[in-house]
Amino acid sequence: MKAIELNDYRMAFEDQGKGIPIVFIHGYPLNSELWRPQIESLSNDFRVIAPDLRGHGKSQAPPGTYNMELLASDCNELLDYLKIKEKIIICGLSMGGYIAFAFHRTFRHRLRGMIFTATKASADTPDQKENREKSILSANERGIDFIIDSMLPKLLSPINSLNNPGLVDRVKNIMRDTSIEGIIGDLRGMKERPDSIPYLKEIQEPVLIIQGQDDQIIPMVETQIMQTHIPNCDLKLIPGAGHLPNLEKPEEFNQLVRLFLNNFLENKNFFIKLS
Ligand code: MLT
């Protein structure tokens, strides 16, 4: 794993392979290890970049509110550091999707296409905001294990939670690598995030939405709102997967990403240089 010094912390990241850059942005409370099946397989054909967001994994954890714009700007700084000039594909899972919306709002000139997985465009409801506050209190008082215990049953599809203890342990270990500053920073940032539904029509780049059919965190109606309002968008459902389809059904997920990217290659207009 590599690392760079950003303004106020050291960011760790994976950067493997050559070709079209795909930036994979993990969700809460995870890290780049979430993308291990993509790093291992897709890096044979593409350049796979996966940061540990501030407060997560091997990155340092400055205290504060990690609003989505700040996290998007961290990702932009990483691309500057890597001197990436050609347009990229961004792939965000759940909170990573919220960050991808923020990235599009500020850095759309860097984007050629987007992949949203297990995410939604709406802001938090008042009840959800209240729950974020409760989780902040619990994280402070009871630590990461409380957060793991409350989230783990919802992350995987019921069938994977029941029949795949290896996967359950793997996800638990990824979550355990999140600092309390990271948990609190994310919760505050997600609570403040804007409603991106009115913004969806601005996303003119090609978009792929990938959703696990048994996602217990993102209701299908949220996915349909995205599909309806993004002009150039395709939705693919993965049966037998929950909120982490890339880990639960890696082959299916990777195949969808490959198909999406191969379409760009066939159109032969992918390597447009940034001005
Ligand atoms: C995530 O998976 O990133 C979070 O569950 C998203 C959220 O809490 O809104």
pLDDT single digits (tens) 74-129:
999 999 999 999 999 999 999 999 999 999 999 999 999 999 999 999 999 999 99
Percentage of the chain surpassing pLDDT 90? 95
- What distance in angstroms lies between residue 105's CA and the mean position of ligand 1's atoms? 20
- What distance in angstroms lies between residue 212's CA and the mean position of ligand 1's atoms? 14
Six-digit token string for 90: 């961004």
Backbone φ and ψ for 154, nearest 5 degrees, come out as: -95, -10
Provide residues with CB under 6 Å of ligand 1. 27-28, 94-95, 190, 217
Q: Closest residue (by CA) to atom 5 of ligand 1? A: 28
Q: Closest residue (by CA) to atom 9 of ligand 1? A: 95
Atom of ligand 1 nearest to the CA of 132: 8
Residue 213 and residue 241 in contact, taking contact as beta carbons nearer than 8 Å: yes
Burial group, residue 64, by CB count within 10 angstroms (0-12, 13-18, 19+): middle
Residue 120 and residue 224 in contact, taking contact as beta carbons nearer than 8 Å: no
pLDDT single digits (tens) 142-170:
999 999 999 999 999 999 999 999 999 99
Atom of ligand 1 nearest to the CA of 95: 3
- What distance in angstroms lies between residue 275's CA and the mean position of ligand 1's atoms? 35
Q: At what angle do helices 95-107 and 68-81 cross, to 10 degrees?
A: 70
Burial group, residue 167, by CB count within 10 angstroms (0-12, 13-18, 19+): middle
Average pLDDT value for residue range 45-58: 98
CA dist., res. 52 & res. 58, Å (int):
7
pLDDT single digits (tens) 189-230:
999 999 999 999 999 999 999 999 999 999 999 999 999 999
Six-digit token string for 248: 């639960």
Q: Residue 272: pLDDT above 90? A: no
The number of angstroms, rounded, from the C-alpha of 137 to the middle of its chain's C-alpha atoms is 25
- Residue of 32, 68, 95 with the most ligand 1 atoms within 8 Å of its CB, for mutation: 95
pLDDT band at 7, cuts 50/70/90? confident
pLDDT band at 266, cuts 50/70/90? confident
Residue 54 and residue 62 in contact, taking contact as beta carbons nearer than 8 Å: yes
Residue 116 in 3-state DSSP? strand
CA dist., res. 127 & res. 131, Å (int):
6
Q: If you search the block for the tokens 């270990």, which residue do you land on? A: 173
